[in-house]
């Protein structure tokens, strides 16, 4: 079986073509992610609703609703494998994702719109779920956030990840403004149980939070993650998000035979 080792802004995944196969995805996720220390596992399957079906699992074997950086990578996988053209649709547990190829290693995806938004779920910590059932995010501003602060923030991030205010648990997205259109985002991810180099849905949830607070009037945001820069665009009217787009790299590190 060929396993593609891919990453989107440092968020890394083990990816397989599961069409026509009966596989234990949970066990595969744990086994394959241990090979490289990857954040997640993705299996591309057949779909009667889209070009392909995405089964997404975290490194600990837990199933995820979808993944933003992973969705860009699965779009590249689908294009490179001939499963879809330069525009593609992907069925996920959270809903249909639309993708578009911009270059060999760059894609843009239309993420699921938020199904739950609470800007003050826990004080100044916002809660956003993208899709239905949604990917859960706790979004919190940390003034003058730097990567060197990760360890001192770890306990707080871990506590938020398991906080009862977020019944499904949450990916914790800590952000700080760098300029009027750029934020730095540090993410502690559910299912990885550690910081990751980037979080696409987390950057998207941060953009949604800022847009709904009236702090992103143009709807465009650059999110500096430790693994690279992601571009977000929020579209909406009267406080309702109608479109959320995520643009960034989708890279193939290597292909394993296992």
Instruction: Assess contact for 194 and 12: CB atoms under 8 A.
Output: no
* C-alpha span between 204 and 198 (Å, rounded): 11
Distance CA 151, CA 252 (A): 30
Per the CB < 8 A criterion, the answer to whether 48 and 21 are in contact is no
**Is 73 one of the annotated active-site residues of the chain?**
no
Short-list 255, 218, 199, 252, CA closest to 73: 252
In angstroms, the CA 134 to CA 119 distance is 16
Residues 6+ apart with CB under 8 A from 236: 211, 219, 242, 243
Q: What secondary structure, in 3-state letters, does 107-152 show?
A: EEEEECCEEEEEEEEECCEEEEEEECCEEEEEEEECCCCCHHHHHH
Q: Which are the contacts of 148, defined by CB distance < 8 A and separation ≥ 6?
A: none
Q: Select from 87, 79, 92 the least CA-distant residue to 108.
A: 87
Q: Is 38 left (phi over 0), alpha (psi -120 to 50) or beta?
A: beta
> Residues 6 or more apart from 176 whose CB is under 8 A from it?
141, 142, 143, 144, 145, 183, 184
Which one from 33, 67, 73, 75 is the annotated catalytic residue?
67
Does residue 67 carry a catalytic annotation?
yes
Catalytic residue among 33, 73, 75, 199: 199
Catalytic residues: 67, 199
């Amino acid at each position: 079986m060929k396993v593609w080792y891919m990453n989107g802004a440092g968020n890394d995944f083990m990816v397989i073509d599961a069409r026509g196969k009966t596989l234990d995805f949970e066990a595969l996720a744990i086994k394959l992610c241990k090979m490289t220390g990857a954040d997640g596992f993705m299996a591309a399957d057949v779909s009667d609703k889209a070009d392909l079906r995405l089964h997404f699992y975290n490194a600990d074997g837990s199933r995820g609703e979808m993944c933003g950086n992973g969705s860009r990578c699965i779009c590249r996988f689908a294009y490179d494998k001939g499963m879809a053209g330069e525009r593609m649709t992907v069925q996920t547990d959270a809903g249909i994702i639309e993708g578009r190829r911009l270059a060999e290693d760059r894609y843009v995806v239309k993420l699921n719109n938020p199904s739950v938004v609470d800007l003050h779920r826990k004080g100044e910590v916002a809660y956003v779920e993208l899709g239905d059932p949604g990917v859960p995010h706790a979004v919190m501003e940390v003034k003058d956030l730097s990567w060197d602060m990760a360890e001192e923030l770890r306990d707080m991030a871990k506590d938020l990840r398991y906080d009862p205010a977020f019944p499904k648990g949450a990916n914790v997205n800590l952000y700080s403004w760098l300029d009027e259109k750029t934020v730095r985002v540090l993410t502690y991810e559910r299912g990885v149980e550690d910081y990751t180099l980037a979080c696409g849905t987390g950057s998207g949830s941060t953009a949604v939070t800022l847009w709904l607070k009236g702090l992103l009037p143009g709807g465009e945001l650059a999110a500096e993650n430790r693994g690279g820069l992601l571009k977000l665009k929020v579209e909406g009217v009267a406080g309702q998000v109608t479109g959320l787009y995520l643009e960034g790299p989708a890279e193939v590190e290597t292909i394993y035979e296992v």
